[in-house]
Structure 1
Amino acid sequence: MQRTRSTAVARALGGACRASSHAAVQRRSMSQALLCVRQQQQGQHQQHRQQLHRSQRAPRVSSVSPGVSSRRHGSSSSSDASGELRKTTLYDFHVARGAKMVPFGGFYMPVQYDDLSVSQSHLFTRAHASLFDVGHMVQRVFRGPGAARFLERITPAAVSALPAYRSTLSAILKEDGSGGIVDDAIISRLGDGTYYVVTNAGCRDKDNAYLDREVARWNAELAPRGLEVTEERLDRGLIALQGPEAAAVLSPLVLGADEDGGALDLRGLLFGQLARARLRLPHKDGAAARSSPVLISRGGYTGEDGFEISVAADEAADVAEALLAAGGPERARLAGLGARDSLRLEAGMCLYGHDIDEATTPVEAGLAWIVPKERRGADAGYYGAEVIARQLVPASKGGQGVARRRVGLLVQGAPAREGADIVVRGGGGGGEEKVGVVTSGCPSPSLGKNIAMGYVKEGLHKVGTEVEVLVRGRPRKAVVAKMPFVPTKYWKGE
């Protein structure tokens, strides 16, 4: 039965192609995972590895001290009705390979593995390639003659102008017109009237409720005019292969999308593009030595070259095994949430519920670039267009501008964590003035410095501006820095 469902979904993909107030119990999943991540980034790797080896044969789920919670609203729980955490298609694969599992976005997820500390795994990704399980993310397909226009109502993306097999980062916006971000999302066009959208696991419940409501509203208004839209939530695995050697690891396994097709040349697949394919599974025999159709997207969350591969749920472990074998331990290893968090922060990428949320607009978040030129008017037709259009024009040029902006920070001394106040000193010996707050922070393994992301008052966002961050009540010197902290290495051709 599972194989039948997987084949049906694969055929659908082949034929066409990440709340403002959550309860405290819903916040704990994200908070626990991030606390574990950041504790391990503080040099406690050896102690953790010793503990891991003592319990290697049992699933490990970390715990954190009571009273530690997310400063902002965290991810909503994605557990089932009984409150149990869910498992991705690779759960047993992780446990068998010495993963330390933590609650994250309603799932059991690996935070690190026995063979490398978090910082070692981070640096391995920057030098070689790491395999991340991102199967907790929600994969959706929108279809129908109204699909593009529907997505253009709930996001600022120019979906109708998106070429086939191209993707764009966007934001699902609140229907109240405030411009607040319900979730961030990757939108990909697979064919006429078919769009593949990936959203965040931690926002699953509220996103599902939002989309159910909005699809029903759209169809009530516009289906009679021939603009019906449907949404399907896919039960598939999702694997990210990230790092400068990702293409070299994946290439020997990639076949054409058809049974008799030749190999797909990854050199022609650029950042932001997608392709249908099949994968060789050398450790399998006969017909099983080829996967069912997969969807390969070039991009990722680390700033490195890489791919995200949507696979049939019952083939995810085989694909992961084939990728690790193709690279060997010198070029490809498993990595968990610990490395993923520090990699994305070095790349200047937002984590929903921390760096962006329903009280934040794309302009405040430094994401104005996701609003294309043709959709920058107040009459663009998406939720919050009037607010965002005013914010896009600085007050000095007659617009509204914004009162705060997301910035990067280099922090001296102890690392700044989420919730730390950003302050400036008053002149003439005056006291300190709070001008912002840190939303993410960790030691950077690549730079050997403490980095952070946060929001500061408009006017203090320019690179080189000196501020202070209160770390455990003590002021630490900091300077506004350009993001990404580490240059991105996306593949855009020779």
Structure 2
Amino acid sequence: MPDLHLTPLNALHLELGARMVPFAGYSMPVQYPAGLMAEHHHTRNAAGLFDVSHMGQLRLVGPDAAAAFETLVPVDVIDLAVGKQRYGLLLNEDGGIIDDLMFFKREADIFVIVNGACKVEDIAHIQAKIGQRCEVIPMPEMALLALQGPQAVDALSRLAPGVEKLVFMTGGSFDVAGIPCFLTRSGYTGEDGFEISVHAEQAEALARALLAQPEVKPIGLGARNSLRLEAGLCLYGNDLDPTTTPIEAGLNWAIQKVRRSGGAREGGFPGASKILAQLADTTGAITRKRVGLVALERIPVREHTALQDAAGNPIGEVTSGLLGPTVDKPIAMAYVAPAFAAIGSQINAVVRGKIVPMEVVTMPFTPNRYFRG
């Protein structure tokens, strides 16, 4: 794979016997010798270490940074307290999602993490839109690791005393095994855990220190995908894209009251008129909705599978799907016509010409276990 970028942990992945695959322009570990199922269950029960250094990291610097960034996303940036993190959505002029991201308010800047496959375009977009109001500083010199699972805090607090005091969506600067890091108590698995930004030159030393803890094993992209789907979390490019609005995606919760109709800073973001109309649920404003599905037969239903009503009429498409290792049943996310989005609705998937009955269910498929204090 000569044209792919390598993360700072590439040599370690090969040493650990990882099977490498192309992902977001990088050579990434999809699984290690234990296999996807074992890695998934280990993360649910102990602690898994993920290399997510393909993600984009950047800083927004300047007194106007929060107000400027708020013109690009439908969330409350200005009032976010220092020391706290928030989920955000970068939108186009039609209200479609360019990318989803995480941002953290620090004393000196706003720290932003964007998806790896979108990072070049995201940074260029942010620079073009608000680069005259604040400094947009990419951080290609930084790696990113995620330590996830119910025992992640036990492992990390041995190396960085004090991290156990953090709660979900907070963070700070810590020395981890003597290595300077910036970390947040957050992640992409539905479990308690941490995401750790570290200089690329020290990433391998950090990873080895974490893997030396008895609770921790390396986890690949395969289990990362099954964990996030069970947690009901969207994957950009599958469940979110530039044609999908936050309301269609069921991400209403990510739009704080201050940015909604009647809020003090209502609108003022790309696609605001369309999104606010969808929030009001005016007739015909929403033509599709993201739903969770469970197959009523033990047949996995993958992305791009067509969905039909009982009469065989097309009503939507699966965007993510697999056999959930924890729930032990086929699960999926899909977009369907609003008439079929109610919990308990029965619809059919067409898998290689076979009709597979499915039921709309609440998400997440397995309870989230974030540490909120």
Task: Give the TM interval when normalised to the shorter protein.
Answer: over 0.9
Candidates 247, 262, 281, aligned match of 2:153: 247
Cα distance, 1:117 vs structure 2: 1.3
Cα distance, 1:274 vs structure 2: 0.8
Structure 1 residue identity aligned to 2:95 = G
Provide the rounded CA distance (Å) in 2 between the counterparts of 1:127 and 1:340.
14
SS in 1 for 2:339: coil
SS in 2 for 1:159: coil
Candidates 207, 210, 213, aligned match of 2:128: 213
- Alignment-derived partner of residue 217 in structure 2: 333
SS in 2 for 1:241: strand
Candidates 268, 287, 295, aligned match of 2:165: 268
Which sections of structure 2, spanning at least 5 residues, go unmatched? none
Provide the rounded CA distance (Å) in 2 between the counterparts of 1:205 and 1:253.
33
Provide the rounded CA distance (Å) in 1 between the counterparts of 2:353 and 2:129.
45
SS in 1 for 2:21: strand
SS in 1 for 2:196: strand
- Alignment-derived partner of residue 374 in structure 1: 258
Larger CA Rg, structure 1 vs 2 = 1
Provide the rounded CA distance (Å) in 1 between the counterparts of 2:172 and 2:124.
30
Candidates 31, 34, 38, aligned match of 1:112: 31
The answer (yes or no) to whether the contact 2:260–2:267 under 8 Å persists in 1 is yes
Provide the rounded CA distance (Å) in 2 between the counterparts of 1:96 and 1:215.
43
SS in 1 for 2:229: helix
SS in 1 for 2:344: coil
- Alignment-derived partner of residue 278 in structure 1: 175
Cα distance, 1:244 vs structure 2: 0.4
The answer (yes or no) to whether the contact 1:377–1:385 under 8 Å persists in 2 is no
SS in 2 for 1:406: strand
Structure 1 residue identity aligned to 2:113 = V
The answer (yes or no) to whether the contact 2:123–2:138 under 8 Å persists in 1 is no
SS in 1 for 2:286: coil
Q: Does 1:453 align with 2:333?
A: yes
The answer (yes or no) to whether the contact 2:67–2:77 under 8 Å persists in 1 is yes
Cα distance, 1:209 vs structure 2: 2.7
Candidates 205, 227, 249, aligned match of 1:318: 205
The answer (yes or no) to whether the contact 2:69–2:130 under 8 Å persists in 1 is no
- Alignment-derived partner of residue 188 in structure 2: 301
Provide the rounded CA distance (Å) in 2 between the counterparts of 1:231 and 1:205.
13
Cα distance, 1:400 vs structure 2: 5.3
Structure 1 residue identity aligned to 2:358 = A
Provide the rounded CA distance (Å) in 2 between the counterparts of 1:150 and 1:251.
36
- Alignment-derived partner of residue 238 in structure 1: 144
- Alignment-derived partner of residue 78 in structure 1: none
The answer (yes or no) to whether the contact 1:298–1:308 under 8 Å persists in 2 is yes
Structure 2 residue identity aligned to 1:491 = F
Cα distance, 1:106 vs structure 2: 0.4
Candidates 129, 138, 149, aligned match of 2:47: 129
Candidates 362, 365, 370, aligned match of 2:246: 362
Number of residue pairs matched?
A: 368
Q: Does 1:167 align with 2:85?
A: yes
The answer (yes or no) to whether the contact 2:172–2:183 under 8 Å persists in 1 is yes
- Alignment-derived partner of residue 392 in structure 1: 279
The 5 Å alignment of 1:59-138 reads 84-114=3-33, 116-138=34-56
SS in 1 for 2:164: helix
Q: TM-score, normalised by structure 1?
A: 0.73
Cα distance, 1:250 vs structure 2: 0.4
Provide the rounded CA distance (Å) in 2 between the counterparts of 1:441 and 1:400.
28
The answer (yes or no) to whether the contact 1:390–1:400 under 8 Å persists in 2 is no
Structure 2 residue identity aligned to 1:356 = L
Q: Which has the higher strand share?
A: 2
Cα distance, 1:462 vs structure 2: 1.2
Provide the rounded CA distance (Å) in 2 between the counterparts of 1:279 and 1:240.
13
- What's the CA shift string for 1:341-378, capped at 9, x where partnerless? 00000000111011000000000001011100110128
SS in 2 for 1:462: coil
- What's the CA shift string for 1:371-400, capped at 9, x where partnerless? 0011012842111111111000123xxx65
Cα distance, 1:486 vs structure 2: 0.4
The answer (yes or no) to whether the contact 1:376–1:385 under 8 Å persists in 2 is no
The answer (yes or no) to whether the contact 2:157–2:164 under 8 Å persists in 1 is no
SS in 1 for 2:273: helix
Structure 1 residue identity aligned to 2:104 = S
Which sections of structure 1, spanning at least 5 residues, go unmatched? 1-60, 62-82, 220-227, 255-262, 281-289, 427-431
CA RMSD of aligned residues (A): 1.3
Q: Which has the higher helix share?
A: 1
The answer (yes or no) to whether the contact 1:152–1:382 under 8 Å persists in 2 is yes
